[in-house]
């Protein structure tokens, strides 16, 4: 009996030790599982916090950009008020010569104005209604391409891109048939340009010609793109006539630097303009369309915004036509800190 009891006790003790071992293994397993879950939760929480911080910083940068646009519109309204007081609605390059640099709290703001009416309006290649080719503007584009030595773009390609018919404009015209044979295929717009980047869709256009053309053309509503001779580039001034030379255009720029022309008639009376230009249609001395370009640097976050703004000459009211947040380097002018 004593021997049997001893064997039973030994068995019970062995069983107890095994149970204790299993319990210890369970504790270790649970502890390891909790540790893994805790590390995962911590990492995910850190990711959530970092993501939220990034979103907050980017949102803040975007809000700074919108504030810069509002500030730019305020400046344009002040310029209009000054013109109304003087009863002379004239726009020159004074407001647009430099970019503005403004440190603000933890942000760095860069902004500039671009006058869209110192350029040739692509949509004015057709007369209002979008059917008939505007002969005056077509010739100016031909002149501009010659001045810039642009080879891969023909003016007829532009008119065919925006007109509604499928009849090529002269031998250099390109209609849907050739675009639909591309890979991938696409058709011409059949309507006015909506964005300057549409030029990249033209058949066989070279990146070099695209970059050369960009500073001298704009996309505005048809009939609103009178060229502001007070802000036009030398190349655009040369495009006003096939007789206008580079030296004549530079002479006009020197003249307006001393005093802006206050009317088309005063520009027309200028000896250089009078000798070189025969067609003074679609010219002006003021601007209604502007770009407000902004770049925001906030910590390691950057935001850009290019807003196209229409300013009504009648009452100075402004309307934002479009906003573009996809341009990487919208600031191109020398900085001026205020």
Q: Is-contact 309 96, C-beta < 8 A?
A: no
Average pLDDT of the residues in 76-101 = 91
Rounded to two decimals, the pTM is 0.82
pLDDT for res 285: 96
Beta bridge partners of 297: 108, 302
Over residues 98-149, the pLDDT tens digits come to: 888 888 778 889 999 999 999 999 999 999 887 899 999 999 999 999 999 9
E strand residue ranges, the chain: 99-104, 107-115, 120-121, 217-218, 227-228, 283-284, 289-298, 301-311, 318-324, 335-337
111: closest CA among 83, 78, 74?
74
Percent of the chain at pLDDT above 90?
Answer: 64
Report residue 172 as tokens.
Answer: 């250099």
């Amino acid at each position: 009996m004593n021997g049997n009891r001893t064997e039973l006790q030994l068995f019970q003790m062995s069983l107890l030790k095994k149970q204790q071992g299993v319990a210890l293994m369970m504790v270790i397993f649970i502890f390891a599982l909790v540790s893994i879950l805790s590390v995962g939760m911590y990492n995910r929480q850190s990711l959530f916090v970092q993501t939220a911080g990034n979103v907050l910083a980017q949102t803040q940068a975007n809000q700074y950009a919108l504030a810069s646009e509002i500030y730019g519109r305020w400046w344009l309204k002040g310029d209009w008020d000054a013109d109304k007081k003087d009863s002379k609605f004239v726009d020159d390059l004074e407001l647009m010569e430099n970019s503005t640099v403004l440190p603000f709290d933890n942000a760095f703001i860069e902004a500039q104005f671009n006058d869209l009416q110192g350029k040739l309006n692509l949509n004015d290649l057709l007369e209002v209604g979008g059917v008939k080719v505007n002969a005056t503007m077509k010739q100016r584009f031909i002149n501009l391409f010659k001045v810039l030595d642009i080879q891969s773009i023909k003016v007829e390609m532009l008119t065919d891109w925006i007109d509604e018919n499928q009849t090529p404009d002269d031998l250099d015209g390109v209609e849907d048939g050739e675009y639909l044979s591309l890979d991938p295929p696409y058709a011409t717009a059949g309507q006015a340009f909506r964005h300057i980047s549409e030029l990249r869709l033209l058949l066989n256009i070279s990146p070099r010609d695209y970059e050369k053309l960009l500073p001298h053309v704009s996309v505005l509503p048809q009939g609103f793109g009178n060229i502001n001779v007070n802000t036009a580039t030398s190349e655009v001034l040369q495009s006003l006539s096939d007789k206008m030379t580079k030296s004549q255009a530079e002479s006009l720029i020197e003249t307006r630097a001393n005093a802006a022309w206050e009317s088309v008639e005063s520009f027309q009376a200028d000896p250089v303009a009078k000798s070189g230009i025969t067609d003074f249609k679609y010219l002006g001395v003021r601007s209604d369309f502007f770009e407000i370009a902004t770049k925001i640097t906030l910590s390691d976050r950057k935001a850009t915004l290019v807003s196209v703004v229409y300013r009504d000459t009648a009452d100075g009211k402004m309307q934002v036509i479009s906003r573009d947040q996809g341009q990487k380097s919208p600031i191109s002018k020398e900085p001026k800190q205020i």
